[in-house]
């Protein structure tokens, strides 16, 4: 997946170099940014790349680290005019596998006593379809400050496997793991520097 993301980014840069993008005066051709959030397209913390396809549409890519491991995403931002606006978004994201992750959860051990313990889990890959709304504020320099709101739907994966078989995760422990699993409410913030 990492190699795929690198190939996609290189291809997008090559397309950008050859493309004659018609944009308004002082409208950046692409954006480089950093972001944070819950179920955001760049994870809990990460980087973003936006390529302006036309006056109203941006191809939006993100890479970062989330609660389920590393994350990559690719999507479209609509109505991304060069002024303050609400912009609908559609994207797909992938949380990559995280092996041997140490997680503190409530378990029942081999002596049948319940306690919170650090256990090792394999967090399996998860794919999500994301639908949302961005509120963008365009700075005088052309930079975009963005608030992301929406919902992320888990469409594949997102399960976990216990490595330590001497402990059984309790129902409360499973509920806690489900909170950290990809999918659910999207709330994110990013600052994107416009580059001509």
Instruction: Please list, in sequence order, all residues whose beta carbon lies within 8 angstroms of the beta carbon of residue 98, skipping any fewer than 6 positions away.
Output: 68, 69, 70, 122, 123
User: pTM (2 decimals)?
Assistant: 0.77
What DSSP element (H or E) covers 9?
helix 2-18
What sign has the CA pseudo-torsion 26, 32, 33, 37?
Answer: positive
Calpha distance 38→57 (Å, rounded): 24
pLDDT of residue 161: 77
Q: Quick count: other Cβ atoms within 10 Å of Cβ 27?
A: 18
Q: How far is Cα of residue 97 from the mean position of the Cα atoms in its chain? A: 14
- Whether 134 and 146 have beta carbons less than 8 Å apart is answered as yes
Calpha distance 59→42 (Å, rounded): 14
- Whether 44 and 67 have beta carbons less than 8 Å apart is answered as yes
Domain that holds residue 54: 2-21+29-195
Q: How far is Cα of residue 163 from the mean position of the Cα atoms in its chain? A: 27
Dihedrals φ, ψ of 99, to 5°?
A: -90, 145
CATH code: domain of residue 170: 2.40.160.20
In angstroms, how far is the first alpha carbon of the chain from the final one? 29
Section 98-105 average pLDDT:
80
- Whether 51 and 32 have beta carbons less than 8 Å apart is answered as no
pLDDT of residue 76: 96
The total domain count for the chain is 1
pLDDT above 90 as % of the chain = 49
pLDDT tens sequence across 42-88: 999 999 999 999 999 999 999 999 888 899 999 999 998 888 999 99
pLDDT of residue 16: 43
Dihedrals φ, ψ of 6, to 5°?
A: -65, -45
């Amino acid at each position: 997946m990492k190699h795929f993301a690198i190939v996609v980014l290189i291809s997008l840069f090559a397309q950008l170099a050859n493309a004659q993008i018609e944009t308004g005066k002082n409208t950046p051709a692409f954006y480089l940014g950093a972001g944070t959030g819950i179920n955001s397209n760049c994870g809990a913390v990460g980087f973003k790349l936006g390529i302006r396809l036309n006056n109203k549409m941006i191809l939006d890519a993100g890479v970062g680290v989330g609660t389920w491991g590393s994350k990559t995403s690719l999507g479209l931002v609509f109505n991304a005019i060069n002024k303050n606006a609400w912009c609908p978004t559609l994207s797909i994201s992938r949380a990559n596998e995280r092996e041997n992750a140490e997680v503190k959860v409530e378990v029942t051990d081999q002596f049948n006593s319940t306690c919170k313990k650090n256990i090792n889990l394999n967090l399996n890959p998860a794919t999500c379809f994301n639908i949302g709304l961005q509120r963008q504020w365009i700075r005088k320099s052309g930079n975009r400050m963005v608030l992301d709101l929406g919902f992320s739907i888990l469409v594949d994966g997102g399960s976990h496997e216990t490595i330590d078989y001497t402990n059984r995760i309790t129902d409360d422990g499973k509920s806690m793991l489900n909170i950290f699993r990809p999918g659910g409410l999207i709330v994110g913030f990013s600052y994107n520097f416009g580059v001509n």
